[in-house]
Amino acid sequence: MPGDLIDVLVPVPLLEKFTYKVPKGNQKRKLKRGVRLKVPFGNRILIGIFWNYSDSSKPKRASYKFIKEILDEDALLDKALLDLADWSSRYYHYPLGEVITYFFPPSLRKGKEAKFKESTYWKVTDKGDFFDLSELKRAPSQREGLVLLREKGDLSQKSLRAYGISSVTLNNLYKKELIQKISLEQLPVNSHRIEAIDKKKLTSEQNISVQAISGEFGNDKTFLLNGVTGSGKTEVYLRCIRKLVDQGKQALVLIPEIGLAPQAERRFKELFGDRVASFHSAKNERERLDVWLGAQRGLYDIVIGTRSSVFIPMKNLGMIVVDEEHDASFKQTERFRYSARDIALYRAKLSKIPTLLASATPSVESMSNALNGKYQLLTLKQRATGADLPSFVPLDLKGKALKEGFSEQLLEEIGSELNNNNQVLIFLNRRGFACSMICKSCGWISHCDRCDAHMTVHSNPSHLQCHHCEHKKPLYTICPSCQHNEFESYGLGTERIEDFLKKKFRQFPVLRIDSDSTRQKDSFKNYLKIIDEGKPLILVGTQMLAKGHHFPEVTLVGILDADSGIFSADFRGSERVAQLITQVSGRAGREKKPGKVILQTYCQEHPQIEELLKGDYETFIKKIIEDRASTKSPPFSFHVKLQAESFNGLLSRDFLSSCLDYLNKSQLMNKDIKTVGPLPSLMEKKSGVYRWEVSLFSSSRKSLHSLTDHLQSFLYLPKQTRKVRWSIDVDPISTM
Ligand code: ADP
Ligand code: ZN
Ligand code: ZN
């Protein structure tokens, strides 16, 4: 007989579960772990999660409040996901009540009903299958609709609309009994177009990978698929997923960025039709709820999504793919600082299914796990289309005059590629017009008042913007320091390059692709459409362009400033640069036309630039792994970072010192634990607050975690100062 006291997870930044009373009328019904409840909290009503019945020995305090409402009959998350939430909370040292909210789409978090809205799907009838198309001669749109459905198999009304078939047309076909309505449940599981899949003959490298992975369905094995750009990694996991779907199981495919969703979705839909869904923040609440509920019911074979999709319930999950596994976007860098890749690995372990990590530039962490045998390494060395990898050409800038960052030679090469009807990609990882605004007479520089950073000059509309806190200001007309009125724009940004190239190559379109130019919904999609047309043009872009895209007509990639990053203060700097340069280079020469990469650099002799020029990422990363091993930095030790921020740097520092004092009194602080700090963060002042940090390193994850647990008991003390905001980052990816 369940008691009347229950423990509830409430989305507040506190570690404990909260005790509530169940009203008499509801006591007979046994609550299932994971159901949503409405509970009073302070003077608010919050959506909590029922966790368990309180221990019967718990004293009955009069102060316990009654729950207001039980929102779900059945728990929306299964046991494996509740366990995953519990593990994530302990691993990342973040309150479970907040962690669990990540497992729900926004509308369920707000307490809305978990009701699945069926969309309409259409299917050709037997009559429609054999119907003589010439009879529809006078109804071309009906004819088109019927042909499409015959070719593509069953489709949703929405997909049909995307093909230009209206609902009127569909209703007319329906009246003629040529097509019929079906529900998503009736949409055949194996709706994939076998012929389309079998058309491509896999390369032998691809074959080996597919065999290896599909041989491990049902086991919690991790694969690292290291394949050069364009080697057909996607093709490999498409095949594996097809086998999985044949067994009635589903796949979750994580991608690093929303920008990659349309391309991935299109490719999957070609094969699996409407049993593919994608989940990301560009979808509205309703759409996200439907995908979430559909996935939970097993109505989708494949869910493609960004970081937070790792938490989506799937009825019979058979495999998780993490595409571009090295990408930093998989790590959330605020609040709940989780890595979707690492959570995927643990989820797979709990569900006893394989995980496939894929990348042309694997992370140091994954590569070293592959080298030490924890993961199985699968390698694709050849491009699937038979195209060669692009050749690298260093361009020594020493002593050369540059025009807006371009050497004469690079400009000539761009011109000749365009004249040969090819596309060119220019890479610079800095958006905006110029780095900063400088007074010509006294050297004053536009500085952000809120950060230790310059403000970037933007044109169209012209303004200054800080890229760290996004604070905006109009351009100065008078120097605040010497009252002169002549300024210079210092340094290059994508906008400036776009301007310059537009003037230089007037006959050709220049598309700038960065987070500013793609802010509007669908703008990125529209750019991709233009690129797909294949006409000669210049792409100017930041790292957004480096990721996973397939641009068959790009034959030349120009990297304006290969040196930035190599000399970064972060020990991950060189790994990042190598990944970025290899990835952006991989956009060149992906199909018939050979590709070339020109790297402008001032330090051609730098050993890391030299390695990169060989185009051999694997050797490069192995050297970095050796370095990390010799310095015992991650992944050869484990790292937890404690950061403190406040309006006064000394407060942040002193708070961290008191944390260290507390830790130093503990037995847990053994010789194996190394502490670094308190030190100001790389950018101490950001958005008006001063940030300091302490790092804890250990060769034992377990002892580091015990220590962090112990630290939490100090951090959450009620007497703790409210003037300092602190955060714990487990496996941090940057020193910022
Ligand atoms: P990656 O994911 O490694 O970048 P993709 O899977 O996108 O590579 O493949 C790159 C290109 O090669 C795509 O156009 C794809 O259709 C094509 N491709 C992949 N595998 C094969 C194959 N076995 N035969 C012919 N073309 C292939
Ligand atoms: Zn001045
Ligand atoms: Zn700022």
- Please state, rounded to an integer, the average pLDDT across all residues of the chain: 88
Residues 702-713 have pLDDT tens digits of 999 999 999 999
CATH fold match for the domains 5-109 and 638-730: no
Ligand 1 centroid–CA 155 distance in Å is: 26
Give the per-residue pLDDT at 129.
83
Question: 399 — alpha (psi -120 to 50), left (phi > 0) or beta?
Answer: left
Helix (H) or strand (E) holding 697: strand 689-698
Mean predicted confidence (pLDDT) in 327-336? 93
391-431+493-627 — its CATH code? 3.40.50.300
Is the pLDDT reported for residue 420 higher than 80? yes
CATH of segment(s) 204-380 = 3.40.50.300
Residues 468 and 683 sit within 8 Å (Cβ to Cβ): yes
> CB of 206 closer than 6 A to ligand 1?
yes
Residues with CB under 5 A from ligand 2 (ion): 439, 442, 444, 479, 481-482, 484
Which residue do the tokens 């806190």 mark? 469
Residue 347 per-residue DSSP state: H
Residue 368 pLDDT: 95
Strands (E), 146-263: 155-156, 179-182, 222-227, 250-254
From 231, 235, 255, 268, give the residue whose CB has the most ligand 1 atoms within 8 Å, as the site to mutate: 235
This prediction has a pTM of: 0.87
Q: Whose CA is nearest to atom 21 of ligand 1?
A: 384
Closest CA to 480 of 504, 455, 507: 455
Q: What is the 3-state secondary structure (H, E, C) of 543-554?
A: HHHCCCCCCCCE
- Ligand 1 atom closest to the Cα of residue 228 is 3
Q: What is the mean pLDDT of residues 26-49?
A: 90
pLDDT > 60? residue 314: yes
How far is the centre of ligand 1, averaged over its atoms, from the C-alpha of 374 (Å)?
A: 27
Banded pLDDT at 681 (limits 50, 70, 90):
confident
At residue 307, does pLDDT exceed 80? yes
- Residue environment code for 579-600, b if the CB has 16+ CB neighbours within 10 A, otherwise e: bbbbbbbbbbbbbebebbbbbb
Half-sphere exposure of 204 (CA within 13 A, CB side): 0
Report the range of poorest mean pLDDT among 131-135, 202-206, 613-617: 613-617
User: Do the strands 44-53 and 5-9 form a parallel or antiparallel pair, or are they unpaired?
Assistant: antiparallel
**b/e code 625-662 from CB counts within 10 Å (16+ = b):** beebeeeeebbbbbbbbbbbbbeebebbbbbbebbbeb
Min mean pLDDT across 266-270, 336-340, 648-652 is at 266-270
What is the CA(546)–ligand 1 centre distance, in A?
A: 17
365 vs 589: CA distance, rounded Å: 29
Q: What ranges do the domains of the chain cover?
A: 5-109, 119-185, 204-380, 391-431+493-627, 638-730
- Which architecture, in CATH terms, is 5-109? 3-Layer(aba) Sandwich (3.40)
pLDDT digits (tens, 9 = 90+) for 147-159: 888 887 777 777 7
pLDDT value, residue 731: 94
**CATH 3.40.190.10 for the 638-730 domain, yes or no:** no
Report pLDDT digits (tens) over 180-191: 887 666 555 455
Average pLDDT over residues 540-561: 85
Place of tokens 């998503």: 184
pLDDT at 91: 97
The number of residues in the chain equals 736
Over pLDDT 70: what percentage of the chain?
A: 95
User: Measuring CA to CA, which residue among 536, 546, 533, 534 is closest to residue 510?
Assistant: 536
Could you give the CA distance from residue 461 to residue 94 in angstroms, rounded to a whole number?
A: 41
Q: Do residues 340 and 254 make contact, with C-beta atoms less than 8 angstroms apart? A: yes
pLDDT in tens, 442-498: 989 998 999 888 899 998 788 999 988 889 999 999 999 999 999 988 888 899 999
Angle at 254 between CA 9 and CA 93, to 5 degrees: 35
Mutate to test the pocket of ligand 1, among 205, 208, 234 (most ligand atoms within 8 A of CB): 234
| Residue with CA nearest ligand 1 atom 5 | 232
> For strand 554-559 and strand 674-686, is the pairing parallel, antiparallel, or unpaired?
unpaired
Place 663 in a pLDDT band, splitting at 50, 70 and 90.
very high
- Name the most confidently modeled range: 199-208, 253-262, 419-428: 419-428
Q: Is the pLDDT of residue 414 over 50?
A: yes
Confidence at residue 323, expressed as pLDDT on a 0 to 100 scale: 95
pLDDT 10s digits, 79-135? 999 999 999 999 999 999 999 999 999 999 999 988 877 677 788 888 888 888 888
pLDDT of residue 736: 46
Rounded-to-integer distance, Cα 219 and Cα 209, Å: 16
DSSP string, 411-463: HHHHHHHHHTT-EEEEE-S--SSBSEEEETTT--B-B-SSSSSBPEEETTTTE
- Asked if residue 229 has its Cβ within 6 Å of ligand 1, the reply is yes
- What is the C-alpha end-to-end distance of the chain, expressed in Å? 53
Distance 437 CA to ligand 2 centre (A): 11
Task: Kindly identify the ligand whose nearest atom is closest to the C-alpha of 488.
Answer: 2
| Residues 251, 255, 260: CA angle, nearest 5 degrees | 120
Which pLDDT value is given to residue 565?
59
Which residue in the block uniquely carries the two structure tokens 């409402």? 69
Question: What percentage of the chain exceeds 90 in pLDDT?
Answer: 48
Check residues 547 and 534 and name the one with the higher pLDDT.
Answer: 534
pLDDT at 268 over 80: yes
CA distances from 638 to 578, 627, 702 (A): 23, 16, 10
